[in-house]
Amino acid sequence: MIHASVRIGENVIIGENVVIEENVVIGNRVTIGHNVIIKKDSMIGNDVNIGELTVLGKPTSSNKKMARKPLHSLDPLVIGNHVNIGCNSVIYRHVKLEEGVFVGDLTSIREKVVVGEDSIVGRNAIVETNTNIGKRVTIQTGCYITADMLIEDDVFIGPCCSSSNDKYMGMGNYKHQGPTIKKGAKIGNNATLLPAVTIGENAIVGAGSVITKDVPANKTVVGNPGRIIK
């Protein structure tokens, strides 16, 4: 079902059982896999590839217990040129994927997130709301990128890393703050980052480390809790 208001460019391939809702705009040479759902108002550039069974432009929702209520006026999802999105993924409204971004299968990206040029969001990675991801960043498979986080350009985050933004763990209405990862820093697989820590420029966090305080630029930290080595 393609809504009558949808605008579609040249040489677009659309799979079976695809649903495209009202006011969607699709560029040229786009490939849309079978059973894809594109929610209303989404804007898709040229040379974009969308894998099967993926949802684009999902609005937010919540229940009584959630601190963060849905926003009533979210911008549309915007997907730049040459973006590649995997299968069975869920990308919300008010996300911007810049040119050349790669999003794997089984990922989810919440509202109010920008992913910079040529960055990778790996398979099964989850990105929460209100987070900014720079250019040429690698977020590997299975990472959890919390809300209210800043990831600068050229950062590398290994598989299965976890971050958090709520130091009081749901106890009240404190301000939430995720980690900041400065330019060029590298995080080993399955590392744990606590709320509000800063990982300095070109710092290295070892695999499996638990980072409870700031890591200075150019230093290497390993262990639980993380300690500077050398």
**106 lies in the binding site for its own copies (CB under 8 A):** yes
Residues binding its own copies: number (CB under 8 A)? 76
The SS3 call for residue 178 is: coil
Minimum distance of its own copies from residue 120's CB (angstroms): 6
Binding mask 49-78 for its own copies (x = CB under 8 A): x-xxx-x--x--xxxxxx------------
Q: What share of the chain is helix, strand, coil (3-state, %, to 5)?
A: 0, 30, 70
Print the SS3 string covering 66-77: CCCCCCCCCCCC
Nearer Cβ to its own copies (61/173)? 61
By CB under 8 A, the residues from 19 to 38 that bind its own copies are 19, 33-35, 37
Among 42, 129, 141, 180, binds its own copies (CB under 8 A): 141
Which of 7, 224, 227, 228 binds its own copies (CB under 8 A)? It is 224
- Between residue 147 and residue 166, which ones bind its own copies under the rule CB under 8 A? 156, 158-160, 162-164, 166
Which residues, 6+ apart, have CB-to-CB distance to 73 below 8 Å? none
**Sign of the torsion formed by the C-alpha atoms of 49, 7, 73 and 1:** negative
Q: What mask, x for binding its own copies by CB under 8 A, covers residues 169 to 208?
A: xxx--------------xxxxx-x-x---------x-xxx
DSSP bridge partners of 139: 121, 157
Q: Count of alpha carbons within 13 Å of 88, Cβ hemisphere only? A: 6
Taking the least distance from each CB to its own copies, the nearer of 25 and 222 is: 222
CB of 168 to its own copies, least distance (A): 9
Tally of CB atoms within 10 A around 170: 9
Residue 59: partners with Cβ closer than 8 Å, 6 or more residues away? 39, 70, 74, 92, 93
Tokens of 106: 């089984």
User: Residue 128, interface with its own copies (CB under 8 A)?
Assistant: yes
Per-residue DSSP letter, 111: S
- Tokens 């933004």 belong to which residue? 165
Instruction: Write down the least CB distance from residue 22 to its own copies, Å.
Output: 13
Q: Which of 144, 177, 198, 199 binds its own copies (CB under 8 A)?
A: 144
Does 123 help bind its own copies (rule: CB under 8 A)? yes
